[in-house]
Amino acid sequence: MSPGAEMHALVERLYPLCRSITGDGVRRTLEIVGEYVPLRLHEVPTGTQVFDWTVPKEWNISDAWIADAEGKRVVDFAESSLHVVSYSVPVSATMSLTELREHLHTLPDQPSLVPYRTSYYSPDWGFCLSQNALDALPDGDYEVRIDSTLEDGHLTYAEHVVPGEVTDEVIVSCHVCHPSLANDNLAGIAVATFLARELARREPYYTYRFLFVPGTIGSITWLARNAERIGKVKHGLVLACAGDPGSLTYKKSRRGDAEIDRVVQHVLAGREHTVVDFSPYGYDERQFCSPGFNLGVGSLTRTPYAGYPEYHTSADNPDFVTAEALADTLAACRDAFSVLDRNRRYVNLSPYGEPQLGKRGLYGSLGGRSDAGRDTATGGGGRGDGRAQLAMLWVLNLSDGDHTLLDIAQRSGIAFDAVVAAADALYAAGLLAPAPPARE
């Protein structure tokens, strides 16, 4: 089975579970993800202060329905977890349709679809159904039942760490709080899970920390519990809406020119894509990029939130997500982190004039060649390849401790892989040294 098909199978497996910002649905979701990559679970008690927020009560639900006078369930939680407003308080009552309407949510402009609604921080209850289903309900009394609990408990999140050569970290975050929404939630979980597996096989330079957290309150909780080690976080990416048929969209960090911003844009240049500037609305990038942290964290989606008609509706089901789109998102992440892991700064150890490369076996033995500057965008080949020689000259010239290899590739028009190969050769020959870490 291809990675795309495997990720789609994971989406299908997770889809029926009722997730929210707390509760057993999150735990079951993380238990399944833990079959693919080992996870460290964290349980944060209700009432814990996390900056300006407080960890809420834990919500769980076992059943819910609306039944007509004959006892037939006209709205049934067992058919879809979207049918109940997330965090609904317990209800057991009989009421008229007129009274009930105050607690019913539909999408009149999309009459066949069921919306997704929440009531996390204000005690309330409600049901979601299609406008067509509501229009078909006759007047009369209805039995209303929500078997839920809202009690002191815990907020659950999980981490998976892929150790690198250095302890500086890249965080990859996805949210695990939505119920049956395949693209906005589960696709990001699937891509993050398989990306973690691939990075572990690659033995990366950076340490990669994967966060599986409830939206907003989860990332704020993680930041509050890890404030003393935030300095280790050098780059980050939030994954969401990762499996729809649309092209890739990258939302830049608050900084706008963070290294992750430049790397992702460089990688996406060969794909159909869109780049948007940061805004303090969206997914958890806005928490990582809040002014107190201002981390270099961007967001990668396909069609952005609220940008497709299926968003936060029952149409966001596994049929809307494709294996091909999941695989493409995974490949973009893989390529971006491959560049990020190799994007070094060097110092030229022989900066006074051009060092003699021939005596080090780094230059072609024939002089006067006319191909040294040709076809640079395709990268370089062997030692006698003029493109490889030109890459070496660019690396030597711009290795002043300020320019990264990506800077050099973009300025020279030479492929990044060729620039890396040139730097490796020059380093092995004793002509380059790693530059001191750049100031944040």
Q: Give the three-class secondary structure for 249.
A: strand
Taking a C-beta distance cutoff of 8 angstroms, is the pair 186, 14 a contact?
A: yes
CA separation (Å) from 375 to 371, 379, 387?
8, 8, 7
CA separation (Å) from 392 to 202, 357, 376, 421?
26, 9, 12, 9
Taking a C-beta distance cutoff of 8 angstroms, is the pair 284, 247 a contact?
A: no
Taking a C-beta distance cutoff of 8 angstroms, is the pair 74, 66 a contact?
A: yes
The answer to whether 135 is a known ligand-binding residue is no
Best CA proximity match to 173, nearest among 253, 116, 269, 115: 253
- CA torsion through residues 253, 257, 258, 262, sign: positive
The answer to whether 316 is a known ligand-binding residue is no
Measured at the alpha carbon of residue 143, what is the angle toward residues 88 and 17, in degrees to the nearest 5? 40
The answer to whether 312 is a known ligand-binding residue is yes
What tokens does 387 get? 């493109």
288 vs 270: CA distance, rounded Å: 28
Which residues neighbour 367 within 8 Å (Cβ) at sequence distance 6 or greater?
Answer: none
CB burial readout 147-158, b (16+ within 10 A) else e: ebebeebbbbbb
Positions at the binding site for Zn(2+): 178, 184, 312
Positions at the binding site: 178, 184, 312
